[in-house]
Chains A and B, each alone.
Chain A
Amino acid sequence: LINALIIVFLLVSAVSVGLIGLTAVGVGSGLKVGKISSATSGTTTTISVPVAIHNGGSLSLNDLRLDAIVSDSSGDQLLTGSAGPVTVGAGENKTVTVSLTLDGGSVSGATLQSLATNEQHLHVAVTASTSVPPFLTLSADIAASLEWGAPVNGLTVGSPTVTGASGTTLQVTVPVSFMNNNSYYTVSGQAQIKIVDSNGLQVGTGSLDVSVPPNTGFDQDVPLALTIPQSQVQQLLFNSTTLQYTAQVEVVSGSQTVFSVDEPLTYQWGAPLSGFTVGTPAVSLHNDTTVAVALPVSFTNANSAVDVGVTLDGRVTNATTGTAEGSGSFTVNTPHGGSFSQLVTMFVKLPSDYYDVILFHDATLRYSVAFSGSFQGVGVTFSRDIAVDWGAPLQGLTFQSATVTSHNSTTAQVTVPYSFTDRSAWLSVDGTAFGVISDVSGVQVGSIPKFTLSTAPGQQFSGTMTGYVKLAASGEPRFNVAVWFVTGPFEAMVEVPVTA
């Protein structure tokens, strides 16, 4: 009996070992991993890995279960997944889907950022268990390292190219490029690009649709709207400069920022009114009280996209007193890259309060011209100082010694030589003069009858004026002569002592 039992159990042992061996080989050769897919819902991304199992053995594979955890190099848990439990009977085919879940809400932004931009080793921990009843139970704890390439490697945001302008908004394209160095992950979705200036003020925005398969690159021009703040329009009108911005590229999933990077962005801004210059004015008489001041205005539109179309109103004020003295306006239409050069005429009142000065003395008249207009819908004002060289019509008026001769029984004739130079380039002396003769005590003793004056611009004049004094005063050694000159808009008096 014992011998028979020994033989029976030897056979049972052999059969058991054989069945287990066949099952192990049958299952091992029937494992296939299918196409990996992913789906996103809210902040959760689920990566599904289907595993097809064919149990070619003779024993059932029971309670097959698999749990997996993927964590990054700093130990933060990224993916969790599980499959089963499932039973695969002898000869059966079954598919077990391992669902790996990435919960963006539970993973910190810093971790996601690091995953997006850094190459690193991910730690994979897998726990598997199954049984082949009644002979075998199996459990395995396996740790592996997964090479994770940065999905967004070497992101660069290039210099913008302006393609158009509307108001103070520029349509620009910005080249964006990066490399998806990841071997498993397709970078797909929409990224927001914000452009902020050095003060943190958002001046531009745009969006970027990407779909970059593993181990491929992305290189695309992204259209953006770039707005120039109104506070900067005035300065940027005249000054070419390098605008420094920051491009904030951000990918948001749900309410979670999964990726954000700041890249410097520079734009070479050409001033639309570059080198705006008001040259030396040319002056001419407009009417009795007003002169026409011709201002040579020039500039270059150094911008590559913005056209200048503006009507500028000029308001002329006395640079010293600030009182309004004249005005004028002109229209500028200069396309981008073009230049403008034109004489702009302003009509300026002569300073009547200073006629008695400027009639006899050269002067430099200083004015300030305030230009104002609407540029791309934004009001702009700026001013330029101008200096008008004034040549006095009666510059250097001098009187020589008078000659007194008898005229009649009650009066004596006084002849006074005088001279001046008309220094004006455009204003002739063409008028009259008359005078009063007083003794040294200030008592009027005679007069100078009205006489005419006529001197062309730039000419020197020498002549005499003739007056008459009471005979009793003819012996005076000195007289005071006050002469009123009336020429053009001027009427001014000069009083000088004359030796007889």
Chain B
Amino acid sequence: MELSGGALALRIVIGALAASMVFVVFYLVPSLIGSLASGISTGGGTGVSIQGMVDSLFPSTLPLIGILLTILTFVGVVVRGSRPYGAILILNGILFAAYFYILFQGGTISLTLPGGLPASASGTVSLGVSALMWIILVAPLLTIVKGLVILFVPAQPKAPAA
């Protein structure tokens, strides 16, 4: 794969933008949503502490995966079209799949109601989201397949120009 200086610069810019979006969605949001929820509950004056509930929805492994996804997204854009790109896609697909699997807690999300609710209410809410999770996981799995194809299926030689 040979790139001109301008093309490389363009890929770096696009990669940085894509990585930034991934960084915001997959790192910043799970990292800061607990603090945001805490601020909302304090501002509402209800005394309800929903930070713990949000923390349980977004475990600490998610931001870590988000960082890795950010890096791989940037690298993937830069090396797109090369053979390592297949490996990057496989890693990217695995991390996306892992991210959503962890987010959906394997298909059943268990929530513990926060403290401070009216009537001292407490309890658990269980959401069965297996179907939604598998729908979302299809795209990352296809990405892995695409990576495998790029990695192991020889590229068809381009037809000679007539």
Contacts and interface: CB of A to CB of B under 8 A. Distances in A.
Interface of A: 2-3, 5-6, 9-10, 12-13, 16-17, 20, 124, 126, 131, 134-147
A71 B126 CA distance: 24
Interface string B117-136: 11111111111110110011
A73 to B, nearest CB: 14
Nearest to B146: A2
B29 interface: no
B122 A144 contact: yes
A10 B140 CA distance: 9
Interface in B89-139: 113, 117-129, 131-132, 135-136, 138-139
Nearest to B139: A9
B146 A146 contact: no
14 contacts: A6-B139, A6-B146, A12-B135, A131-B128, A134-B131, A135-B132, A135-B135, A136-B131, A139-B125, A139-B126, A142-B121, A143-B123, A145-B119, A145-B121
Contacts of B135: 9, 12-13, 16, 135
A131 B149 CA distance: 39
B129 A136 contact: yes
Interface of B: 113, 117-129, 131-132, 135-136, 138-139, 142-143, 145-146, 149
Contacts of A5: 138, 142
Contacts of B149: 2
A440 to B, nearest CB: 122
A20 to B, nearest CB: 7
Contacts of B119: 124, 144-147
Closest 5 CB pairs of A and B: A137-B128, A142-B123, A144-B121, A144-B119, A9-B138
A462 B122 CA distance: 119
A143 B128 contact: no
B143 A144 contact: no
A330 to B, nearest CB: 76
B131 A2 contact: no
A471 to B, nearest CB: 135
A431 B89 CA distance: 159
Say whether chain B's binding surface is mostly helix, strand, loop, or mixed: helix
A126 B146 CA distance: 48
Nearest to A12: B135
Contact of B139 (A13, A124, A138, A143): A13
A142 B127 CA distance: 14
Contacts, number: 75
Contacts of B121: 142-145
A17 B128 contact: no
Contacts of B143: 6
A484 B139 CA distance: 153
A139 B108 CA distance: 11
A10 B138 CA distance: 8
A142 B119 CA distance: 11
A144 B118 CA distance: 8
Contacts of A147: 119
A414 B113 CA distance: 137
B120 to A, nearest CB: 4
Given A9-B135, A136-B127, A142 B146 contact: no
A235 B136 CA distance: 95
A137 B110 CA distance: 12
Contact of A143 (B122, B136, B146): B122
Nearest to B147: A2
A138 B126 CA distance: 6
A6 B126 contact: no
Given A9-B138, A144-B121, A16 B126 contact: no
Contacts of A134: 131
Contacts of B146: 2-3, 6
Contacts of A9: 135, 138-139, 142
Given A2-B142, A6-B142, A124-B119, A136 B132 contact: yes
A140 B131 contact: no
A142 B114 CA distance: 11
Given A16-B132, A17-B132, A20-B132, A140 B139 contact: no
A307 B95 CA distance: 102
Most chain A CB neighbours (cut-off 10 Å) among B122, B139, B143, B149? B139
Contacts of B128: 131, 136-139
B33 to A, nearest CB: 15
Given A2-B142, A6-B142, A138 B125 contact: yes
Contacts of A124: 119
A145 B136 contact: no
A178 B113 CA distance: 39
Nearest to A7: B139
Contact of B127 (A2, A126, A138): A138
A141 B111 CA distance: 10
Given A9-B138, A136-B127, A144-B119, 5 more contacts: A5-B142, A12-B138, A13-B136, A142-B122, A142-B123
Nearest to B127: A138
Contacts of A17: 132, 136
Contacts of B123: 126, 140-143
Nearest to A137: B128
Contacts of B129: 135-136
A146 B131 CA distance: 37
Nearest to A122: B119
